Every structure is written in C-alpha cells, then in structure tokens.
Amino acid sequence: MVDKDKIRIAMQMIIEAIGEDPNREGLRDTPRRVAEMYEEIFSGLYEDVGQHLEVVFEEGHEELILVKNIPFYSMCEHHFLPFIGKAHVAYIPTQGRVTGLSKLARVVEGMARRPQMQERLTSQIADMMVERLQPRGACVVIEAEHMCMSMRGIKKPGSLTVTSALRGIFRKDEKTRQEVFNLIMSRS
C-alpha cells in the first residue's frame, strides 16, 4: 500500500526546495493532503483490474459493443502531471458472452489510476479485455490532453493525443475496423 508518511516527508522537502515555507498557513497541511490524494489517484496499483471482467452473461449477442466517452484521468509517469481524457472501448463477443457495460469503465479507471503512459494504458485495456473476455476482437481508442504539454515545456493547451489498440478482428478486418472508428467518431 501507499506509504503516506514517506509522501508527507517528501512533499515537505519539495515545498522547502522550491523556497517556500512549509509552516505557512496555506501549506501547513499540504503534505498530508498530497499523501491522501496520491493514495486515491494511484489506487489502481493495488487493484486486480481484470476481476471486473469476470462477470459475464450468456446473451447470444455476437455483434459490436461500444462504450464511448468514458472519462478518465491518469498521471504521466514522466512528470507526475495529469493527463485527462476519454476512452472508447469496444469488443465483439465470442459465443454471446458479454460483460456489464460498467465493467468496461471500471477497467479504464483501474488501469488509469497508476503512473502511466497513454500508449501503455491503451494497450493494457485492450489486452485485459482479450485475456478475460476472449472476444473475437477488442478496440480501445483514447483521446487525452497532457498537462506536461499544456502547462510546461511546449505549452500547447488543448492539444490532444490519440492512441489506439486493435486486437483480433479489429486488426484483421478493415470493414470491422472502419465500423468501430465510424461509431467512435459519430456525435451520437
């Protein structure tokens, strides 16, 4: 689990290192607040995210299932700044085995709640779906704004990074891939 005492000490040292007074009223409780925040936003490190996909139903549905615009936030592992966006998650069940729609959102959230790179996050979600659901195909598209590009460095707020991971039929069949991309891009 998260060692909140170490985080408090480190945060106090950071406050001192930037030339601020850690005993100033506004900063006095900041190390504790940061430790509690890190425990929450990195909770995915201590979660078996795949367990959400263990709940399946035999529904006989073997067509595309897409959950669009799943909001998420994560922390860039390079600068420990947030990246915020939305995930689009699709799969085509095998033998009619489907999972609850909220389970897909829980996988996105669990994988995002750890130090991440967007590229890895995208692949991890797709790979988890393949491993646990054994679908005919899985597709994950993530669009996110990275604060490490928006508020520092090149300073380009509003820039979006888009990544995709295609597995199974989405990788092999152009028509199926185009169908899911068209649905992701549609406004409805």
Q: How far apart are CA 99 and CA 164, in angstroms?
A: 21
Positions annotated as catalytic residues are 76-79, 118, 146, 148
Query: Strands, DSSP E only, in 22-160?
Result: 56-58, 65-76, 82-92, 97-99, 115-116, 137-146
Q: How far apart are CA 23 and CA 30, in angstroms?
A: 10
Half-sphere exposure of 53 (CA within 13 A, CB side): 22
Helix and strand counts by DSSP (H, E) for the chain: 7, 7
Residue 183: count other Cβ atoms within 10 Å of its Cβ: 15
- Most distant pair of Cα atoms in the chain: their distance: 63
3-state secondary structure of 148: helix
